[in-house]
Structure 1
Amino acid sequence: MTVPLSILDLSPIPSGADAGTALRNSIDLARRAESFGYHRYWVAEHHFADGVAGAAPAVLIGLIAAATDRIRVGSGAVQVGHHTALSIVESFGLLDAVYPGRIDLGLGRSGGASSGRGAPAAAPARFVDGLLIPPPFDFSKLAASPRWASRAGLLQQPGAVTPDFAEVVADIAALIAGTYTRDGYDVHATPGEGAGVQLWILGSSAGQSATVAGERGLPFAANYHVSPATVLQAVEAYRAAFRPSPVLDRPHVLVSADVVVAPTDEEAARLAAGYGLWVRSIRTGRGAIPFPTPEQAAAASWTPEDRALVQDRLDTQFAGTPESVADRLRTLQRVTGADELLVTTITHDHADRVRSFELLAKEWS
């Protein structure tokens, strides 16, 4: 079954460039993606990263929607721990008012309490019907980093407490539906109430995000590109929790993957060479660095510990010819039962990134 193919854009800043260049590249790529036939164009929310410019999804979505005509544009995802439910609904309600029927509101759990799960149990890499499921990565050390803790306070007002994720999702849904009350009074969001945005939940594990998406009957986006070890548990938990709703009568799953496509496997590997350094910078707590050139990547030094830190992401990046990448994406779709696929690509040169998406779209169609 051929399913829709969409794009997740992190607005990466190439080594030697700046945020303005990255954002203009994103707008240009969105125009091209529309002409290539992609279904959705989502942008991410990241903070304190020298190599990523997408800090304000609603602003960037407006710029992209203004530069395109048909493609759906949305967030993958708004980090709800850094915003109030009202501010999210008003921002996306404004976008929907100007670009009706084209806006997706993807919500991600962040900034709140831990899910309560400890470090993942050690498990060997395995293949499930041809799909690599690597050993799980332990995010607990990264989450406990003093550097992360010191920055987290800048994303909220002093003393602010992030509500439970399920409560935030319920508040957002109620504000859009016009049924929200506070202290016995009706509260109406203008713009926002009655907005035709498509609400999504994004998640990386079989935790609260998957459960909330299922219980509310919302579409769910699972992250093979962020946490490949847990993607199957995430979609299984979502489907197990699913209850039909006015939005969906059956589960609807989107699954993401990192890809780099080029005319030859050798060229794809060269263009993707900076990916390991980029992931290493994130997983050591520094945040994403400007994406290296292939030459910078080739000159980098690695320790065995460095390699172990990023090996799961390197092994699950789909880099190669259009035919080989499309085959791996079909495997991902078949094993996860995905109704849609979301691909993200980072290369140093913008032209290479555009070509990667173009080659994949032609092969996929």
Structure 2
Amino acid sequence: MTTPLSILDLVPVPSGGTPAQALRNTVDLAQRAEQAGYHRYWLAEHHFAPGVASSATAVLIELVAAATNRIRVGSGAVQLGHQTAVSVVEQFGTLDALHPGRIDLGLGRSGQRRVEALAGAPTGPPRPSPPRVEARVVDGLLIPPPFSFLPLLKAPFFAAQAAALQLPGAEPPDFDEQVGDILALLAGAYALDDVHLHAVPGEDADVEVWILGSSAGQSAQVAGERGLPFAANYHVSPATVLEAVAAYRAAFRPGVVERPYVLVSADAVVAPDDTTARELAAPYGLWVRDIRTGRGAQPFRSPAQAAAHHWTDEDRALLADRIDTQFVGAPQTVAERLRVLRDATGADELLITTITHDHGDRVRSYELLAKEWGLS
């Protein structure tokens, strides 16, 4: 049986393009993905980024679900630190009422993660840098040295973003509590101060609830202990994917699903030949550099713009883990490497995200991969 492939779409805005065109491209790509045999189509949630138009996730899910017929559509992921459990269930209950049996509710920690990371940041005199962890290869899969997100979380841009997304004085609740409230609302078992409240729409909605995570921390634990499917993040945090998957499986108890179910994400660019694929993927480094230097995702450059950029050693060090773990090449090249990712992580499904400057190249990348993978 062919391992299912799915899509994560950030709704990228190319340089010279507009958010409106990016949204139209998403609808077109979703329709092509359904025709090509992809299993699900997830929309990311990003805010205040000129190069990403996926801020209103539930609205985008409706847009895509209305334009397709069979493919599952969902969130990858709702940032729970910025929303209440009730608002999430009402939104996704509405989506399910309109598109029954096709909606996925992917949940992620966001505001909570930033608060915890900053609270645990060292104070006082600078401490010696920890010894560098070298890259390793596990069952053929490259596991690069870990990247520290702490400086990024301290950046003024992300601090302002976090403040803008929450009401003054608000603090994100515990992630496990929020997940429990969402499950209770969906099941019609939610009560506050002994008063039973019913989400309409939302109660009894036929949505698949997922947890997305980048490490062996709380997300993996919650997914396992509550018996939910788990999406592990190789495309943003490749250094920790094996630990995340292992922690999920170790914590797993039958619940919503009877056995662990793991989806693993990957960045990929596919073209008819390796040389063309590398050219199309070249701007990816600038995209990651913008994010990791605290500017947020900027409009995705063209290959010509990427070729004109002067790369420093500092740039290369900042991006190495992401560049080295991107799957770039001809269909057979990428498919072989994705099989390594699948086997090394034990993934039941792979989630592919592809960004190119030209929409036609992105569509072709997904179609070439689907054909090579044997999707129907």
TM-score past 0.5 threshold: yes
SS at match of 2:364: helix
Deviation per residue, 1:202-231 (Å, 9 max, x gap) = 000011000000000000000100100000
Structure 1 regions of 5+ residues with no counterpart? none
SS at match of 1:73: strand
SS at match of 1:259: strand
Report what 2:279 is aligned to.
270
SS at match of 2:269: strand
Q: Among residues 96, 101, 124, which one is paired with 2:134 in the alignment?
A: 124
Q: Number of matched residues?
A: 364
Runs of 4+ in structure 1 deviating by more than 6 angstroms, as ranges, are 116-121
Letter of the aligned partner of 2:292 in structure 1? R
SS at match of 1:319: strand
In the TM superposition, residue 152 of structure 1 has moved relative to its aligned partner by 1.1
Kept in 1: contact 2:232–2:263 (CA 8 A): yes
Kept in 2: contact 1:147–1:285 (CA 8 A): yes
Report what 1:302 is aligned to.
311
Report what 2:77 is aligned to.
77
Q: Among residues 137, 145, 148, which one is paired with 1:138 in the alignment?
A: 148
Kept in 1: contact 2:190–2:196 (CA 8 A): yes
Looking at structure 1, the residues matched to 40 and 158 of structure 2 have their Cα atoms a distance apart, in angstroms, of 31
Report what 2:327 is aligned to.
318
**Where do residues 283-298 of structure 1 align in structure 2 (5 Å cutoff)?**
283-298=292-307
Kept in 2: contact 1:122–1:136 (CA 8 A): no
Q: Among residues 243, 251, 265, which one is paired with 1:256 in the alignment?
A: 265
**What TM-score do you get using the length of structure 2 for normalisation?**
0.95
Q: Among residues 351, 354, 361, which one is paired with 1:342 in the alignment?
A: 351
Q: Among residues 113, 116, 119, which one is paired with 1:114 in the alignment?
A: 116
**Where do residues 115-264 of structure 1 align in structure 2 (5 Å cutoff)?**
122-245=132-255, 247-264=256-273
In the TM superposition, residue 121 of structure 1 has moved relative to its aligned partner by 6.2
Looking at structure 2, the residues matched to 146 and 352 of structure 1 have their Cα atoms a distance apart, in angstroms, of 35
Looking at structure 2, the residues matched to 292 and 335 of structure 1 have their Cα atoms a distance apart, in angstroms, of 33
Looking at structure 2, the residues matched to 326 and 239 of structure 1 have their Cα atoms a distance apart, in angstroms, of 26
TM-aligned CA distance change 1:311 to 1:98, over 3 Å: same
Kept in 1: contact 2:157–2:296 (CA 8 A): no
1:9 lines up with 2:9 in the alignment: yes
In the TM superposition, residue 160 of structure 1 has moved relative to its aligned partner by 1.2
Structure 2 regions of 5+ residues with no counterpart? 122-128
In the TM superposition, residue 146 of structure 1 has moved relative to its aligned partner by 2.3
Kept in 2: contact 1:217–1:244 (CA 8 A): yes
| CA-based RMSD | 1.2
SS at match of 1:295: helix
In the TM superposition, residue 301 of structure 1 has moved relative to its aligned partner by 1.4
In the TM superposition, residue 295 of structure 1 has moved relative to its aligned partner by 0.1
In the TM superposition, residue 241 of structure 1 has moved relative to its aligned partner by 0.5
Letter of the aligned partner of 1:225 in structure 2? H
Deviation per residue, 1:43-80 (Å, 9 max, x gap) = 00001111000001100000000000000000000000
Letter of the aligned partner of 2:230 in structure 1? F
SS at match of 1:200: strand
In the TM superposition, residue 22 of structure 1 has moved relative to its aligned partner by 0.6
TM-aligned CA distance change 1:267 to 1:117, over 3 Å: farther
1:49 lines up with 2:58 in the alignment: no
Looking at structure 2, the residues matched to 117 and 319 of structure 1 have their Cα atoms a distance apart, in angstroms, of 37
Deviation per residue, 1:172-228 (Å, 9 max, x gap) = 000000000001100100000000000000000011000000000000000100100
In the TM superposition, residue 235 of structure 1 has moved relative to its aligned partner by 0.2
Letter of the aligned partner of 2:364 in structure 1? R
In the TM superposition, residue 158 of structure 1 has moved relative to its aligned partner by 1.1
Report what 2:369 is aligned to.
360
Letter of the aligned partner of 1:110 in structure 2? S
Letter of the aligned partner of 1:30 in structure 2? A
In the TM superposition, residue 151 of structure 1 has moved relative to its aligned partner by 2.2
Report what 2:34 is aligned to.
34
**What TM-score do you get using the length of structure 1 for normalisation?**
0.98
Kept in 2: contact 1:120–1:136 (CA 8 A): no
In the TM superposition, residue 117 of structure 1 has moved relative to its aligned partner by 6.7
Looking at structure 2, the residues matched to 277 and 158 of structure 1 have their Cα atoms a distance apart, in angstroms, of 34
In the TM superposition, residue 144 of structure 1 has moved relative to its aligned partner by 1.3
Report what 1:63 is aligned to.
63
Q: Percent identity?
A: 69
SS at match of 1:7: strand
Looking at structure 1, the residues matched to 136 and 232 of structure 2 have their Cα atoms a distance apart, in angstroms, of 19
